[in-house]
Amino acid sequence: MDFLLSEEQRMIYEYGQNLSKTYDRKHWMEYAERGEFPEDMYQQVAKDGFVGVMVPEEYGGSGLGMMEMGLLNEGLSEQGIPLLSLVIGATMGLSLISTYGTEAQKQKYLPDACSGKTRFCFAITEPNAGTNTIRTATSAAATPDGRFKINGSKTFITDAGDADYMIVVTRTTSQDEAKRSTDGFTLFIVDCKAKGIECQPIPVSIKIPEVQYSVFYDDLDVGPEDVLGEVDKGFKVLFEAINPERILVGFICAGLGRYAMGRAVEYANDRVVFDRPIGAYQALQHPLAKAKTEIEMASLISRKAAWMFDRGEPCGAESNMAKFAASEAACHAVDASLQCFGGNGFTTEYGIFDIYPMARLLKTIPLNNEMVLNYISEYVLGMPRSY
């Protein structure tokens, strides 16, 4: 593994610095306060060619890999402007269509999505299944004319009410009837405004621009042309979305941690108490130094996971470790940074505490860290299954 970034990769990583000159943390927070998607920022990212990083050039993308998408997200987060839509829509959605879509699907969906004309969301989590995807109950029943009717519900679906298209995880064969628990899954690409879909916003305490939704399906009509991959064999497609999501969380958390620490170091070097800068005191130095070390280690495992993914190597262990290490490190970094600011850290003027909810959220989504540790225990260490 080459630890040096190419000139192109360095440019992608530094894109966040350029974008933040126009769309900075304050701009991001204004949208977060309103619970409104930052359309202007997203359109600029699309115009600059960064939505379709992982989409082949013939469909309007850049034809690059997970490493580049990760560096993009890390660089944006390092400026305090993370965009979850680049994880869910641009990566989980577009890369799956690029890999498993038919030629007609690629031509229909990818160019418009890369240009920012349309957005995708990803519907997997269910109220009664949670992290246990095998228990997915949303069904897609075949009809005599060769089409399907989708019925069921999803929850905590990011951007569902504002996105144009949705990739929906369903069961075309129930778990009880399937030969194996992973059989019977089918993914569909559906129009978010189609008859039979209802989206209801979920009020959440954390301030982020992307709104969460409950989604209800009532005899939503879809056809074979809407199937992403193969009928009853969608778990393989779904599995391809899992590692990229966790890898990108690693990159985002590394960026958020650096952003918080950068603010803290600047403040600690300027703030004078007892006749010297507070940054001179080891009680503040050491927690930040420890957090810095944790963030850089998390960044390295995230880059290793992306490097392996781009080479088609199994990277489940590294992806899960990246997600766990980075989300924990980001929380430690924000906490250490917050302590430097004292009471000022809790004011809206300084905007330091505002970083913590996002970092803390990423310990829980897209998969809670307890389940990540279960994976590492079972599949990396070879210990008995615990759940």
| pLDDT tens digits, one per residue of 202-230 | 999 999 999 999 999 999 999 999 999 99
Please state the φ and ψ torsions of residue 40, each to the nearest 5 degrees. Answer: -65, -40
pLDDT of residue 131: 82
pLDDT of residue 240: 83
Read off the pLDDT of residues 165-207 as tens digits, 9 standing for 90 and up.
Answer: 999 999 999 999 999 989 999 999 999 999 999 999 999 999 9
Read off the pLDDT of residues 78-133 as tens digits, 9 standing for 90 and up.
Answer: 999 999 989 988 888 999 999 999 999 999 999 999 999 999 999 999 999 888 88
The torsion defined by the Cα of 58, 191, 76 and 279, in degrees rounded to 10, comes to -160
Q: Sign of torsion, CA 16 54 97 88?
A: negative
pTM, two decimal places: 0.95
pLDDT surpassing 90 at residue 250: yes
Strand boundaries in 244-311, DSSP class E: 272-273, 276-277
pLDDT surpassing 90 at residue 253: yes
Burial label for 242, CB within 10 Å (0-12, 13-18, 19+), is: middle
Asked if 150 contacts 172 with a C-beta cutoff of 8 angstroms, the reply is no
> Beta 148-158 vs 139-142: how paired, if at all?
antiparallel
pLDDT surpassing 80 at residue 1: no
d(CA 128, CA 247) in angstroms, rounded, equals 26
* Domain edges within the chain: 7-118, 121-231, 236-380
What do you get for the CA distance between the two ends of the chain, in Å?
35
pLDDT averaged over every residue in the chain: 95
Read off the pLDDT of residues 347-356 as tens digits, 9 standing for 90 and up.
Answer: 999 999 999 9
Read off the pLDDT of residues 265-290 as tens digits, 9 standing for 90 and up.
Answer: 999 999 999 999 999 999 999 999 99
CATH superfamily of the domain spanning 236-380:
Butyryl-CoA Dehydrogenase, subunit A, domain 3 (1.20.140.10)
Read off the pLDDT of residues 356-380 as tens digits, 9 standing for 90 and up.
Answer: 999 999 999 999 999 999 999 999 9
Q: Smallest Cα–Cα separation from 253: which of 12, 54, 70, 94?
A: 70
* 38, two tokens: 């930052």
pLDDT of residue 255: 98
Domains 7-118 and 236-380 share a fold: no
d(CA 361, CA 234) in angstroms, rounded, equals 28
Read off the pLDDT of residues 118-145 as tens digits, 9 standing for 90 and up.
Answer: 999 999 999 998 888 889 999 999 999 9
CATH superfamily of the domain spanning 121-231:
Butyryl-CoA Dehydrogenase, subunit A, domain 2 (2.40.110.10)
pLDDT of residue 292: 98
- What is the percent of the chain with per-residue pLDDT over 90, rounded to a whole number? 93
Q: What is the mean pLDDT of residues 15-26?
A: 96
d(CA 330, CA 136) in angstroms, rounded, equals 31
Q: What is the CATH code of the structural domain delimited by 7-118?
A: 1.10.540.10
- What is the percent of the chain with per-residue pLDDT over 70, rounded to a whole number? 100
Q: What is the mean pLDDT of residues 257-262?
A: 98
